[in-house]
């Protein structure tokens, strides 16, 4: 049983000073309460747990030997290198996913959606590995698992059946991948993954890197199927680079149609892809989430998984500098992510889960711009990170 926790002098989401009270793992009204444990937040910003809406926990190389990256420049080069590396380096999905979770917990990442590879070489072994980690770490972090056909689904016989097996084994979400450039058959790929989602009653998350008109065409197919199967609020499109490549009127029309069927868009603010029109997306009411994508892996050696830093990259990629825009970037990496991946009980209001991150900053804009690392992280009313250091009883990773 966890003792009641009183957090004095916090600034919930950058607002005025308030006391926050957590009882039985949830925020409750703080009026005239006494608690066994008290923390003085010293006027720092309190954010709800940071949301990592798109990563690849099974493939990070954190803690392993340095991977000498000789991978070619195309997406297919990367897919092949990635599949070879899984075999040659013996990447253990259970151990590696635990390492990434522990690393990002220190930043305050308390909810993670991870795409996990399913293919004809490894079968669903990576899904099983990440499921084990999720169970071992359930008191620290929420993990959603997307069954992800990284190597392609239609061109590789047997993958669709493995996707089905992954969903039966406990994967939460149906993944999809470039319906045209990788799958070579957009209608058949999308029909297949929407049918899986329908049969298993699970949401969908599609990696869509297709450019310009091709991407817009795929988005329209996704919108049609979302509406036909009444999956409003249960579909996310990851990357959607095409939204940054269309002329202004087509861009606006497509964003409006996405918002109308409540399809969420996840963007990492990649420096090597066209920037998505974040201001237009915000104005349309579209749900926008963000993620680190793969960190320290064979695709890219970069990244640490800090979602507050991600908010800064997003803002920079969109030429944002004023405080209101930085607050929006912070919102994308918290409430936007929570909405996009469908978290319940999320936020700092009474009744929500008692999860928060105290960031040593006086405003949200300052938190995003400076990304201070000495954060205190509270999960269900228990301090799990103190001044940037993991605290208390934590699982051992082997």
119 vs 293, which CB is nearer to Zn ion? 293
- Shortest Cβ distance from residue 218 to Zn ion (Å)? 16
Ranked by CB distance to Zn ion, the top (closest) residue is 293
Q: Which two tokens stand for residue 300?
A: 């890219």
Comparing CB distances to Zn ion, the nearer of 51 and 358 is 51
Under the criterion CB under 5 A, does residue 119 sit at the interface with Zn ion? no
Token output for 148: 């992800």
Instruction: Pick the closer one to Zn ion by CB: 45 or 237.
Output: 237
Helix (H) / strand (E) element for 115: namely: strand 109-117
Task: Answer whether 327's CB lies under 8 Å from 321's CB.
Answer: no
Size of the site for Zn ion (CB under 5 A): 1
**Least distance between Zn ion and beta carbon 55 (Å):** 7
Stretch 249-288: interaction string toward Zn ion, x if CB under 5 A: ----------------------------------------
Beta carbons of 338 and 56 less than 8 angstroms apart: no
CA distance 34 to 286: 41
Report the residue from 82, 293, 309, 355 that binds Zn ion according to the rule CB under 5 A. Answer: 293
Cβ-based neighbour number of residue 230 at 10 Å: 10
CB of 170 to Zn ion, least distance (A): 20
Cα–Cα distance between 166 and 147 in angstroms, integer? Answer: 6
The span of 63-71, 217-225, 248-256, 293-301 binding Zn ion (CB under 5 A) equals 293-301
Beta carbon nearer to Zn ion, 274 or 345? 274
Instruction: Indicate the Cα dihedral angle 213, 252, 55, 343, nearest 10°.
Output: -140
Tell me whether residue 341 or residue 358 sits nearer to Zn ion (CB atom). 341
For 322: left if phi > 0, alpha if psi spans -120 to 50, otherwise beta; the answer is: beta
Residue closer to Zn ion (CB basis): 142 or 293: 293
Please state the separation of Cα 153 from the chain's center in Å: 23
* Closest to 82 (Cα-Cα) out of 105, 52, 115: 115
Smallest distance, Å, CB 238 to Zn ion?
6
Chain positions 213 to 252 lying near Zn ion, rule: CB under 5 A, are none
Positions touching Zn ion (CB under 5 A) are 293
């Amino acid at each position: 049983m966890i003792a009641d926790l009183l957090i004095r002098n916090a600034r919930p989401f950058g607002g005025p000073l308030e006391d926050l009270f957590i009882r039985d793992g949830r925020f409750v009204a703080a009026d005239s309460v006494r608690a066994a444990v008290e923390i003085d937040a010293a006027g720092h910003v309190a954010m709800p747990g940071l949301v990592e809406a798109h990563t690849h926990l099974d493939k990070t190389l954190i803690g392993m030997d340095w991977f000498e990256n000789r991978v070619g420049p195309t997406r297919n080069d990367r897919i092949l290198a990635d599949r070879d590396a899984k075999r040659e380096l013996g990447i253990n999905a259970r151990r590696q996913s635990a390492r990434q979770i522990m690393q990002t917990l220190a930043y305050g990442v308390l909810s993670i959606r991870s795409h996990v590879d399913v293919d004809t070489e490894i079968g669903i072994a990576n899904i099983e590995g990440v499921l084990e980690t999720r169970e071992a770490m359930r008191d620290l972090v929420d993990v959603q698992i997307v069954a992800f056909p990284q190597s392609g689904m239609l061109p590789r016989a047997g993958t669709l059946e493995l996707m089905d097996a992954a969903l039966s084994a406990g994967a939460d979400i149906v993944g999809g991948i470039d319906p045209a450039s990788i799958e070579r058959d957009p209608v058949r790929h999308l029909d297949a993954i929407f049918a899986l989602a329908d049969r298993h009653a699970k949401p969908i998350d599609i990696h869509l890197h297709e450019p310009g008109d091709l991407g817009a065409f795929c988005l329209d197919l996704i919108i049609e199927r979302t509406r036909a199967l009444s999956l409003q609020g249960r579909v996310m499109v990851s990357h959607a680079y095409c939204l940054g490549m269309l002329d202004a009127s087509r861009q606006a029309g497509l964003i409006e149609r996405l918002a109308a069927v409540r399809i969420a868009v996840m963007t990492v603010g990649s420096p090597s892809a066209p920037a998505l029109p974040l201001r237009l997306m915000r104005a349309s009411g579209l749900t926008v989430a963000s993620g680190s994508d793969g960190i320290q892996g064979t695709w890219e050696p970069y990244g640490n998984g800090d979602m507050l830093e991600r908010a800064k990259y997003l803002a920079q990629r969109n030429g944002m500098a004023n405080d209101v825009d930085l607050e929006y970037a912070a919102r994308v990496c918290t409430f936007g992510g929570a909405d996009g991946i469908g978290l319940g009980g999320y936020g700092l209001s009474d009744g929500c889960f008692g999860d928060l991150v105290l960031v040593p900053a006086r405003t949200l804009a300052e938190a995003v711009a400076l990304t201070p690392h000495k954060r205190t992280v509270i999960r269900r009313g228990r301090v799990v990170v103190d001044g940037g250091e993991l605290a208390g009883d934590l699982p051992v990773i082997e």
